[in-house]
Structures are given as C-alpha cells and as structure tokens.
C-alpha cells in the first residue's frame, strides 16, 4: 500500500527556522529561496493542514517526484531551479525547498507561467458547469487561440467488505484529460463534442467546420485539436 500526503491549503513558514534547515550551493540559491518563501508568505492566508491518509492507492499527482523548474509571476519576477510538482486533485502547484514541508504556491492568480520537465502551466479563467472558475492548465498549443489540457483525478472512499465483495481501500483514480480552448482573453471553454469546437471560434465558424470534417478532428484527440488550433491561428 502507498502512503500519500494530500495538501489542503497554504503552509506558512517563518524564515528563521526555514533557512537554518536549508543547504544551498551558492549565495544565488539562498537569495532565490528567500525571495520565493517571502513571496509565498506575503500571499498566503491561514496556516494550512496536511491530511495524511494511509492505505490509499494511486496518486493525486501528475508526477510524484519533484522536478526542478521555473516560476514566472505577473510582476515579472522569476524563480528558477525550484523543485515542483502538480497536485491534480487539489489543482495546486507544490514546491519544496530543502528538507522543509511541502508548500502550495500562494495566490496563483499572480502566476503568469510555470515550467518544469516537459510541462508548461498557466493559471487561467474557465467555465465549468456554467460557473466561472480559475485553475492550472497545461499548455498544448499557444497562440491567439490556446489549447489546454487539464488532467483529471477523482478520489474514492474506502469500501467495507460486503457479501461476495472484498474490502476496497481508498484510492485516487486517473481519468481522461479534459481539453479546453481559449480564444484571446476570453474564458477557456471545455470542448467535449464537435459542436463545442465550432462554437469556440464564432468568427470563423464556416472555415472551422470544414476543417473539422476534412481532418476528422475529435474533441478527445489532442493531436487533431492541436492541428485545429494551429489552423485557426493561421487565419
């Protein structure tokens, strides 16, 4: 069985204890760590809690291990070589410095871009179930129109044993990615059927409709969606 930490909020750390526990290779790394922790401290709210669940199968993370990456804020500040990972279930970017507790980035609306490994994340407004929300998305194709993917994870509670059925532990289950398209500065729209693809580009509806039919574009196929977005950006 696997032990998983589910991060529920923003952790507040004091600088004295934090820096005393860290080991860095250069003055530059120390400066980066201080600035990032200060950024998170200034934008964080209440002290958060960690929910520790034992005997949970699966993982809420896009990548379980931390991967060094870069954070770019809307105020044009950059933090580089930061160990990062994405918590899909909580829709949070987490980071860890030294041996200190894992933190989630505070005030994600101040984040312009996050890059680590093969991933580029943006924090954008979108519609879901007719509600306006904001969240982290993976950039698949960038331009006047942008294609995003949003990984999906659900949590299932443990099930007690029953007649003809063994006990089932609590678990995280991966689900197929969802795909969103954002035209300009509009809300990112979920594209789950072909009709959505036509409606997201009202200014070139006829051309888009013809392209979809000719190229057999499918809402659940990221490669054909990339071709569609590239085509729209060329019009």
Q: What's the sign of the alpha-carbon dihedral 189, 195, 199, 202? A: positive
**pLDDT at res. 141:** 97
**Closest C-alpha to 41, from 117, 97, 114:** 97
Asked if residue 144 is part of any domain, the answer here is yes
* Distance in angstroms (rounded) separating the CA atoms of residues 113 and 120: 7
Domain boundary among 68, 91, 117: 117
Asked if residue 39 is part of any domain, the answer here is yes
In which domain, by residue range, is 6 found? 1-117
Structure tokens at 43: 């934008």
Query: Could you tell me if 85 and 140 lie in one domain?
Result: no
- pLDDT band at residue 103 using 50, 70 and 90 as cut-offs: confident
pTM recorded for the entire structure? 0.77
Answer yes or no: is pLDDT of 16 > 50: no
**What mean pLDDT comes out for the span 108-128?**
94
Q: Which runs of E-coded beta strand occur in the chain?
A: 4-7, 50-53, 67-73, 78-87, 92-95, 103-104, 111-116, 119-128, 131-141, 145-156, 171-183, 189-190
Instruction: Provide CB contacts within 8 A for 218, sequence distance 6+.
Output: 194, 224, 225
Query: Could you tell me if 79 and 28 lie in one domain?
Result: yes
Query: Could you tell me if 23 and 110 lie in one domain?
Result: yes
Query: Could you tell me if 107 and 148 lie in one domain?
Result: no
Asked if residue 110 is part of any domain, the answer here is yes
Query: Could you tell me if 128 and 68 lie in one domain?
Result: no
In terms of DSSP bridges, do strands 119-128 and 111-116 run parallel, antiparallel, or are they unpaired?
Answer: antiparallel
Query: Could you tell me if 109 and 134 lie in one domain?
Result: no
In the three-class reduction of DSSP (H, G, I as helix; E, B as strand; rest coil), residue 214 is classed as helix
Asked if residue 231 is part of any domain, the answer here is yes
Answer yes or no: is pLDDT of 219 > 90: yes
Task: Give how many domains the chain has, as a whole number.
Answer: 2
Answer yes or no: is pLDDT of 216 > 80: yes
Answer yes or no: is pLDDT of 59 > 80: yes
Among the listed ranges 30-34, 38-42, 134-138, 218-222, which one has the minimum average pLDDT value?
30-34
């Amino acid at each position: 069985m696997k032990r998983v930490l589910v991060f529920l909020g923003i952790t507040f750390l004091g600088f004295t204890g934090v820096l005393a526990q860290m080991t860095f290779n250069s003055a530059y790394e120390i400066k980066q760590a201080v600035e990032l922790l200060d950024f998170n401290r200034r934008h964080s709210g209440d002290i958060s809690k960690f929910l520790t669940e034992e005997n949970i199968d699966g993982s809420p993370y896009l990548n379980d291990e931390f991967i060094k990456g870069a954070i770019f804020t809307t105020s044009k500040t950059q933090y580089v070589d930061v160990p990062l990972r994405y918590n899909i279930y909580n829709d949070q970017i987490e980071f860890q410095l030294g041996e200190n507790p894992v933190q989630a980035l505070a005030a994600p609306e101040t984040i312009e871009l996050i890059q680590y490994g093969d991933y580029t994340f943006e924090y954008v407004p979108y519609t879901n179930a007719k509600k306006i929300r904001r969240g982290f998305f993976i950039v698949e194709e960038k331009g006047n129109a942008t294609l995003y993917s949003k990984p999906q994870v659900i949590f299932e509670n443990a099930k007690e044993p029953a007649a003809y059925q063994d006990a089932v532990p609590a678990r995280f289950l991966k689900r197929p990615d969802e795909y969103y398209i954002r035209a300009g500065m509009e809300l990112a729209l979920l594209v789950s059927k072909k009709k959505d693809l036509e409606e997201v580009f009202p200014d070139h509806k006829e051309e888009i409709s013809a392209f979809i039919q000719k190229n057999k574009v499918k809402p659940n196929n990221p490669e054909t969606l990339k071709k569609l977005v590239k085509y729209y950006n060329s019009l």
